[in-house]
Amino acid sequence: MQSLTQLQLSYDTNPGSIPACLGNLHKLIYLGFHGDKLSGTIPSPIFHNLTDLGTLEINSDKLEGTFMFSALANLSKLKEVDISGRSLEIDTETPVSWFPSFQLSFLSLRYCIINSRNAGRLPTFLWSQRKIKILFLRDAEITGTPPIGLFCNSSLGSLDLRNNSISGLFVVPCRNASYDAYEINLSHNHISGPLPENIHLSFPKLNILRIAGNKLEGRIPPSLGERQLVLLDLSDNHLSGEVPMLLP
């Protein structure tokens, strides 16, 4: 068993929890737990010796307690993390001094309760992730301003922050810069003000833009009609003026 490199446990029929003894499987590259009957907490100590781990998946709405994300700090080969659970809290800010040795390409913390002890703060460690391409944090009780600055120093292509409590202006943070983003979803938050007129310059590869159900005002930038958008959803806002021609 100690030479095992991949392990996936399904809890669709029989109830169970994450075994604490898995920390002895030092050669694991992939570790996954799935199923509606998976319950209990995520035991942080199991990750201390899983230094080869590249992919971690834990998905169940019956998980509970608080998972300290810093438990993954020393997993330098970690590339993909997918954790979800409607009753699961994830604390990414404790201890304050922790710093990740990993560079993620994919992170999904959908349907979790993120940083409830820090007023729903967006995970600070994200600003160190230069290689991240996909970031899914929908339905996670996140607050703060739209984190468009994440595009400045990373290769982020897809950002999903729908159904949170993000407020403030949608601001393009870096002038004369163009980003790799092809999909942005900020629907059903509290984002206000106008859309930037130069949004087309900053996101030349954008295919999908969803900011429905916010408090946007003003006109829709005509330049959006010049993009090869596949989908544009700005419904349920306070926008005015003409809708740009979106078909080439």
**Of residues 66, 223, 247, 215, the one with CA closest to residue 234:** 215
Query: What is the pLDDT, as a whole number, of residue 177?
Result: 65
CA distance 189 to 22: 39
The domain boundary residue, chosen from 59, 90, 107: 107
> How many domains, the chain?
2
Residues 3 and 78 in one domain: yes
Residues 96 and 20 in one domain: yes
Residue 117 within a domain: no
Query: What is the pLDDT, as a whole number, of residue 72?
Result: 98
Q: Which residues have a Cβ under 8 Å from the Cβ of 171 and sit 6 or more positions away?
A: 145, 146, 148, 196
Residues 53 and 155 in one domain: no
How far is the CA of 9 from the CAs of 18, 58, 67, in angstroms?
9, 10, 19
Q: Spell out, as residue ranges, where the chain has pLDDT lower than 50.
A: 247-248
Q: What is the pLDDT of residues 136-169, one digit of tens each?
A: 999 999 999 999 889 887 799 999 999 999 999 9
Residue 43 within a domain: yes
Q: Which residues have a Cβ under 8 Å from the Cβ of 175 and sit 6 or more positions away?
A: none
Residue 118 within a domain: no
CATH of the domain at 80: 3.80.10.10
Residue 205 within a domain: yes
Residues 101 and 154 in one domain: no
pTM here is 0.95
Residue 166 within a domain: yes
The domain boundary residue, chosen from 107, 129, 159: 107
Query: What is the pLDDT, as a whole number, of residue 71?
Result: 98
CA distance 168 to 147: 10
- Residue 240 structural domain: 144-248
Query: What is the pLDDT, as a whole number, of residue 144?
Result: 97
Residue 115 within a domain: no
Instruction: Output the CA torsion sign for 46, 67, 105, 229.
Output: positive
Residue 224 within a domain: yes
Residue 103 within a domain: yes
DSSP assignment letter at 194: P
CA distance 179 to 156: 8
